[in-house]
Each structure stands twice: as structure tokens, then as C-alpha cells.
Amino acid sequence: MRRILFLCLLFFTILSFSQEKNKISIENADIQYADEQKTPGATVLIGNVRIKHESIELTCQQALFYKKENFFKAIGNVLIKQGDTITQTSDYSDYDANIKQVLSWGNVVLKDPNMTLTTDTLQFDRINQKLYYQDYATIKDATNTLKSKYGNYYLENKKFTATTRVTVVNLEHNLTSNHLDYYTNSGLAYLYGPSTITNTQNENRLYSEKGFYNTKTDISYFTKNAKLFLKERTVEGDSLYYDKNKGFASASKNIKVVDTIQNFITKGNYAELYEQKDSLFIIKRAVAISIIDKDSMFIHGDTLLVTGKSKKRIIRTYHNVKIFKSDLQGKCDSIFTNQTTGYTKMYRNPVIWSDQNQITGDSIYLQSNLETEKLDSLKVYNNAFIISKDSIENKDFNQIKGRNMFGKFEANKLKLLLVKGNAESIYFNRNTETQVLETISKEVSSNIEFTLVNGEIETVKYLKSTDGKTYPPSQLDQKGRIIKGFLWREDEKPKKKEDIFIKDITSNKLPIKKKVLEKPSLFIDKKTKDKKKGKKKTAISIIGQ
């Protein structure tokens, strides 16, 4: 029994001590009085009012102290201090010591070692060490000025959670968002929802709906609908890393890089961009897309490298390259395009398909018209070969072979073809009305010129002496109907743009031609002598050069 009485006495003693400790202590007031008619239940304090409660100290000009409720209303030049680090000034404050809540309004300014907060109304939850406002506030630290309509500030980890019309501004950047977490000690911002960061010096912009931004180092990493807007490019991806000071960006998955000056787009699943070097590197389903006369050309390779400024860019595509356009397809190991000259070079077992024609050689060069951006001319160096299926029977092929080949395009269709050096041809002649095969022509000449209509040979012109013969079909077996080196590669042809990502099994089995002629002597008009035969030769000008 005595033990129970002792425990009860101890409990009430502790409770009494706790309640006493929780009471507001009046440290000073010049005048104190009570007026039950005007302020029932309150003690009126006037002049140099100072109170204390645990680690908080409050001073003001006037106050109403409700002892029973443990509640304090401060009026005029209110100053609140918490420890040695936090001070707050305002016109008015209400303090409920039971729940340790402070409500301040009127020119509220709160400071800690990392920031200054100004607002009209501020709630201070001392238990959770949390500040929150609901009618706009401005927060300034050593680096940034943050503004928002709603916000919470957690004193222990120096974290702001700001929502609705949020801005973070410094000398170089302007960030807008509707939801972010901001740490005043580190300058780190975590973005949630649509957010934009604008560089005030060059107007480059970053957009994301989720990510991280270091306002001190200008490094950002975004993971949802990320977009980087540069002066001449936009970069999009599922995730985006950007270091503004180094001018470096990397992106992953569903990447789209748009040249805003020209109609040129690159895509892939991993990219690196170096602003200062004007270079772009893309792998993983990399594809370059050029919009030509309302039609798009797609070029895919294992690796895509774009260097140089807009309109002067050089595009290099390496390994397993495929090209698709509605009226032109191609394939090679690597390809090089110079936007300044409109010149495109295809290397290692290149092949292009134009209309019904398959064109191959050791290297193929395509020239575009810089004004119209349409194909202008074609050059095939060494082992040039053009093949097209006979219009009726799929087993027969019209063929032209020579050392080099030069072509001219009209409206993106091959119109004129000049074969120079050891030219050979096999052509299947059909009756124009019945389409019955009547003869097969086999010709050999130094140079042959062809004109084409809708991909089919219309006229043939032999520019040197010819050695040829026309055969009835019955006199030529299948072997006699092909030229040496014949290889039909239709199974490698991309039939639609999605096919450019298919790697052909046969591609590694094709012979590799090592010799590439950049500027052969046949390209220039000249007169030479054949010293062995004593014959004078004149090479004609290449059409379209």
C-alpha cells in the first residue's frame, strides 16, 4: 500500500514539474495589469515585454498573456529567438506553448545561418521544427532567391518543399516549377512536375517533369520527359544529364536530337553532346533523319557522329549502315556526309537501289543540290555495276559493268548514266507491244552512255568503238546471260524504314574492296597518249560535273 502511495506521489510530482516547465515565463514588462471587461482571462503587458519558454525567447512592445491557457499574443516589433541560430521578426505573433505553435503575421522575416525568409504570414511548428506558409514567401540564401505561393521549411535538414508558382533565381539561371524540394545548405533542388531552367546569359533551357538540379555547380539530371533547348539543337530523352559549365550532355532511351536550323533529326538510345566542340555521338539504334522535299531519308548505323556547326556539319555513320527513302535505299559499312558540300561517301561493299536499279562498286559518292537538297549526281569508283530485273521474267537481269560510273539525277530519279573504262552491258530486248523477248544484246566498249526513264534504259550510246553482238534468246544459257562479278543483293534491301535496324547475316560474307579512289584521273578532261599502242585517247567530260 505504501509502495502504491509512493508511486502516485512521484507521478503527480513529475506531472506537476512537467507542467510547470511547460509554462510560459514572463521575464519582463514595464507595466502589467488585468482588465476582465476588455480582455477577460488575460494579463496585459506593456513596454519591453520579454517572455521565455524552453529554448525560445520572445520580445515585443505589448502582449496579452493567458496564463490558464498557456497562450501568448505579442503585438508590435515582435522578435523571436530560438537558440543562437534562428531569429524572426514580425508585427504580430500568437504563441501556444501547449502545442508549441507560433503564428506570425505582418512583415515576417525569419533568418537562420543559411537563408532569410520573408512573407506576410508564417506558421512555426516547434515540435517538428517546421515552418510553413500559404500566401507567398521569398527565401534568399548565398546563391539563390526562391519564391512560391505555398511552402514548408524543415529547420533540421535545411529543406524547403515549395509548391505552386515556384521560382529559383540567381545571376545565371531562372528556374520555374510547381513543386520542388530545395536545400539551402547545398543549393540542391529536386524537381517534381513540369519544371524549366533558363540560362539568362544565352537563353538555353532545360525542361523536365522529374529530376535533380545543383544550383551551385550547374549540374542537372532529369528522369522524365527531359528536354535540353540549345541555340541550334534540342535534345530529348527519357533521362538527361547536363553539365552546363563543361557544355556536356548525355541522354538515354528514346533520344531525339533536332537541328533547329536545318531539317535534320538524329535518334537513338544513348547520346553524348559536347557543346564547345559542336559534336554529337549516338549509339544503340542510332539513326539520322533528313527531310528532303517533304520526304524523309533515314540513315542507320551502329554509331553516329555529328560534328560542326549547323549547315556545316559532318555526319559519320559507322558499321552496318542502311539507308531508306521512298525512292532510294542503300547499304554499306560506313558513310560520310558533308553538309557544306552536299557530298555523301559510302565505303566498303556499298550498294544503292534507285527505282528498279541496284548499283554497286568499291565506293559510291552521292552529290546533293545545296539549294533544293535533292540528289544531283552519282559517282561509283572501281568495279562499278548496275543491275535491274528484266521487266517480265525475274530470272533475267539487265546489267552494266565498268571501271567507274557517273550518273545524273532529275527529281531524285536516275536520268543519265555514263560508264567509263572496260564497259560491258547485257540488255534484254522485248517487243514494245507484246513484251516478248526477241534478242539479247551483249556489248563491250571503253565508254557507254545510257539514258533512263522511270528506272529503265531508254537509249544507249557508245562513245568508243564497240565490240558486241545480239543473240536470239535460245543461243544464251543462264550462265551466258550474266556478266562476271554479278551479285543480286535484293534480300539486303530495306523495304520500309523499320528494316534499317535489321542486321543481315550475309553482310559479313561479302568481299571487301580495299582500294578507294578519291579523285580518279577520269574525272578531269585531258588528252593522253597510249605509248604502247601509239593511239591518242580523249576522255569526255562527265555529265553534270
Cβ 190 vs Cβ 165: under 8 Å: no
Q: Is residue 137 part of a domain?
A: no
Which pLDDT score is estimated for 293?
66
Least confident of 46-55, 176-185, 188-197, 462-471: 462-471
Least confident of 224-228, 348-352, 454-458, 487-491: 454-458
**CA nearest to 189, candidates 248, 152, 144:** 144
| Pairwise pLDDT comparison (537 vs 386), residue with the higher score | 386
- pLDDT tens-digit series, residues 487-543: 999 999 999 999 999 887 644 444 434 333 333 332 223 333 333 333 333 232 222
Strands 159-169 and 295-307: unpaired
Q: Is 506 exposed, middle or buried (0-12, 13-18, 19+ CB in 10 A)?
A: exposed
Domain count, the chain: 2
Radius of gyration over every alpha carbon of the chain, rounded to an integer in angstroms? 41
Q: Is residue 212 part of a domain?
A: no
Strands 363-368 and 279-292: unpaired
Distance CA 212, CA 192 (A): 9
> Which residues are 405's β-sheet partners?
380, 419
pLDDT band of residue 290 (cuts 50, 70, 90) is confident
Which pLDDT score is estimated for 465?
64
Q: Is residue 263 part of a domain?
A: no
What integer is the mean pLDDT of 99-123?
94
Cβ 334 vs Cβ 345: under 8 Å: no
- pLDDT tens-digit series, residues 329-371: 999 999 999 988 888 999 999 999 987 889 999 999 999 888 8
Set of cell numbers at residue 473: 534468246
- pLDDT tens-digit series, residues 136-161: 999 999 889 999 999 999 998 999 99
Q: 403 in helix, strand or coil? A: strand
Cβ 347 vs Cβ 332: under 8 Å: yes
What integer is the mean pLDDT of 31-47?
92
Cβ 208 vs Cβ 191: under 8 Å: yes
Q: Is residue 529 part of a domain?
A: yes
Q: Is residue 432 part of a domain?
A: yes
Which pLDDT score is estimated for 446?
83
What integer is the mean pLDDT of 475-483?
86
Which pLDDT score is estimated for 461?
80
Which pLDDT score is estimated for 394?
67
**CA nearest to 92, candidates 107, 81, 82:** 107
Q: CB under 8 Å to 430, separation ≥6 — which residues? A: 391, 392, 436, 437, 438
| Pairwise pLDDT comparison (506 vs 208), residue with the higher score | 208
Instruction: Please give, one letter per residue, the 3-state secondary structure of 417-456.
Output: EEEEEEEEEEEEEECCCCCCEEEEEEEEEEEEEEEEECCE
pLDDT band of residue 436 (cuts 50, 70, 90) is confident
Least confident of 169-173, 210-214, 444-448, 529-533: 529-533
Q: 247 in helix, strand or coil? A: coil
Final residue belonging to a domain, choices 58, 76, 111? 111
Which pLDDT score is estimated for 277?
87
The Cβ of residue 47 has, within 10 Å, a number of other Cβ atoms equal to 12
Distance CA 5, CA 130 (A): 42
Set of cell numbers at residue 279: 559534336
- pLDDT tens-digit series, residues 93-107: 999 999 999 999 999
Q: For residue 383, what is the domain's CATH number?
A: 2.60.450
Final residue belonging to a domain, choices 80, 111, 142? 111
Distance CA 510, CA 160 (A): 63
Reported as half-sphere exposure (CB side, CA atoms, 13 A), residue 228 has a value of 31
| Pairwise pLDDT comparison (211 vs 311), residue with the higher score | 211
DSSP class of residue 504 equals P
Whose cell is 539507308? That residue is 323
Mean pLDDT (the chain) is 84
Which pLDDT score is estimated for 522?
29
Q: What is the pTM of this model?
A: 0.76
What integer is the mean pLDDT of 165-173?
92
- pLDDT tens-digit series, residues 394-413: 678 888 899 999 989 887 78
Cα-Cα-Cα-Cα dihedral of 275, 332, 287, 313, to 10°? 30
Q: Is 252 exposed, middle or buried (0-12, 13-18, 19+ CB in 10 A)?
A: middle
Final residue belonging to a domain, choices 111, 142, 161? 111
The pLDDT of residue 11 is above 60: no
Q: For residue 38, what is the domain's CATH number?
A: 2.60.450.10
**CA nearest to 428, candidates 387, 462, 464:** 387
Q: Which amino acid is at 241?
A: Y
Distance CA 221, CA 192 (A): 12
Whose cell is 560508264? That residue is 419
Which pLDDT score is estimated for 393?
64
Set of cell numbers at residue 530: 597510249
The Cβ of residue 51 has, within 10 Å, a number of other Cβ atoms equal to 23
Cβ 399 vs Cβ 383: under 8 Å: no
The pLDDT of residue 108 is above 80: yes
Cα-Cα-Cα-Cα dihedral of 153, 154, 155, 158, to 10°? -80
Q: 274 in helix, strand or coil? A: strand
Burial 470-486, CB ≥16 within 10 A → b, else e: eeeeeebeeeebbbeee
Which pLDDT score is estimated for 537?
32
The Cβ of residue 532 has, within 10 Å, a number of other Cβ atoms equal to 6
Which pLDDT score is estimated for 221?
95
Q: Is residue 155 part of a domain?
A: no
What integer is the mean pLDDT of 426-446?
84
| Pairwise pLDDT comparison (448 vs 47), residue with the higher score | 47
Q: Is residue 474 part of a domain?
A: yes
Range of the domain at 442: 356-483+515-545
Which pLDDT score is estimated for 268?
94
Burial 293-313, CB ≥16 within 10 A → b, else e: eeeebbbbbbbbbbebeeeeb
Which pLDDT score is estimated for 542?
28
Cβ 301 vs Cβ 319: under 8 Å: yes
Q: Is residue 1 part of a domain?
A: no
